[in-house]
């Protein structure tokens, strides 16, 4: 089995039951992170009460989350979504371990997961309160929603964020790694990339347009890996170790990815080491202006009730 087959999955290859995508311990060599992506319709989707902490992220449309936990708590959270992942952040909710949930609504939802053993409270983050970070500059400008990072969310293991890269720009660059435990320098984290791509804002494309981007992962001292792939909506790349990046948005097409990270280190931290051959590129950003196309935000406030 080559690395493209083992660590890269085109849309549909990870389908299970009613989910379009499922990443969990059933994937050979995968331990610390999980992901579910699916369309909500009819009776919706159920999440069992197991030893994983979760974050519910609406990708398209609104989501209602009915939950109950092992301590006897229960409630309903209505998440105002968005028309697409290129329309700014959505409301999100964190559910601690041993929490059962039912998801209903119309549209597509992602559920980020990480095995854990600490019982933490439900946390709701509204779109208006999620910082929209413009990272990099020039052709390395991208938009990051850091709703599930250590600075913005109290969790035991789970780290989640999403990145929007406009057409012709590079993100996850310079290539970097997080596969060694070096206190204060680098942390060990598995990482999931879930991709979506669309015709770039403001362009009138023909019906046969085929939005795509590019993604790469390559070897580090922690292990051999070699993934170089076109990426389209619904594709998933797994990064068990190694340098990863760039994620490149092709001309004419914007690129989105949801990142899910967790690892074995006791401290929940996202600490990275750049590929020493390319890390110097960061210094070039100081003399460049950020891409004026960003931020991508909705034309109007998201619709949907909130509690």
DSSP output for 75-114: EEEEEP--SSTTS----EEEE-TTEEEEEEESEEEEEEEE
Using an 8 Å Cβ cutoff, are 302 and 81 in contact? yes
Digit-coded pLDDT (tens) for 208-233? 999 999 999 999 999 999 999 999 99
Bond from prior residue into 20 cis (ω within 30 degrees of 0): no
Digit-coded pLDDT (tens) for 144-203? 999 999 999 999 999 999 999 999 999 999 999 999 999 999 999 999 999 999 999 989
Using 50 as the pLDDT threshold, list the residues of the chain that sit under it.
301-307
Angstrom distance (rounded) from CA 77 to CA 75: 7
Residue 300 has a pLDDT of 52
Class of domain 3-284: mainly beta
Q: Which residue has the tokens 């969990």?
A: 24
Coarse DSSP helix, strand, coil percentages of the chain, rounded to the nearest 5 percent: 5, 45, 50
Angstrom distance (rounded) from CA 203 to CA 196: 17
> Which residue in 152, 121, 112, 120 sits closest to 32, CA to CA?
112
Parallel, antiparallel or unpaired: strands 92-95 and 45-47 = unpaired
Angstrom distance (rounded) from CA 163 to CA 61: 18
Quote the tokens at residue 123: 């946390």
Angstrom distance (rounded) from CA 90 to CA 236: 21
Torsion angle of the four alpha carbons 197, 203, 205, 211, in this order, in degrees rounded to the nearest 10? -10
Residue 302 has a pLDDT of 43
Contacts of 228 (CB under 8 A, 6+ apart): 4, 214, 215, 216
Domain ranges of the chain: 3-284
Helix (H) or strand (E) holding 147: strand 142-148
**Phi, psi at residue 263, to the nearest 5°?**
-160, -175
Residue 76 β-bridge partners: 66
pTM reported for the whole predicted model:
0.96
């Amino acid at each position: 089995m080559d690395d493209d087959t083992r660590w890269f999955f085109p849309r549909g290859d990870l389908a299970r039951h009613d989910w379009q995508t499922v990443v969990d311990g059933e994937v050979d060599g995968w331990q610390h992170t999980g992901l579910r992506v699916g369309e909500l319709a009819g009776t919706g989707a159920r999440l069992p009460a197991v030893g994983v902490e979760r974050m519910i992220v609406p990708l398209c449309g609104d989501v209602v989350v009915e939950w109950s936990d092992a301590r006897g708590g229960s409630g309903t959270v209505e998440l105002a979504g968005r028309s697409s992942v290129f329309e700014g952040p959505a409301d999100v909710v964190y559910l601690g371990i041993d929490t059962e949930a039912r998801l209903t609504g119309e549209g597509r939802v992602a559920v980020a997961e990480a095995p854990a053993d600490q019982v933490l409270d439900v946390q709701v983050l509204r779109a208006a309160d999620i910082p929209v970070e413009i990272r990099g500059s020039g052709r390395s400008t991208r938009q990051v929603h850091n709703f599930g990072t250590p600075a913005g969310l109290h969790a035991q293991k789970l780290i989640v964020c999403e990145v929007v890269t406009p057409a012709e720009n590079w993100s996850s660059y310079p290539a970097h790694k997080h596969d060694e435990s070096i206190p204060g320098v680098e942390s060990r984290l598995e990482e999931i990339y879930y991709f979506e791509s669309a015709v770039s804002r403001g362009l009138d494309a023909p019906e046969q347009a085929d939005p795509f981007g590019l993604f790469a992962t390559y070897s580090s001292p922690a292990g051999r890996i070699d993934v170089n792939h076109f990426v389209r909506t619904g594709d998933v790349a797994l990064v068990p170790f190694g340098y990863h990046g760039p994620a490149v948005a092709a001309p004419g097409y914007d690129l989105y990815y949801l990142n899910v990270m967790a690892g074995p280190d006791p401290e929940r931290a996202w600490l990275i080491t750049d590929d020493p051959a390319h890390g110097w590129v960061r210094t070039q950003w100081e003399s460049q202006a950020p891409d004026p196309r960003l931020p991508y935000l909705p034309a109007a406030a998201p619709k949907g009730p909130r509690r």
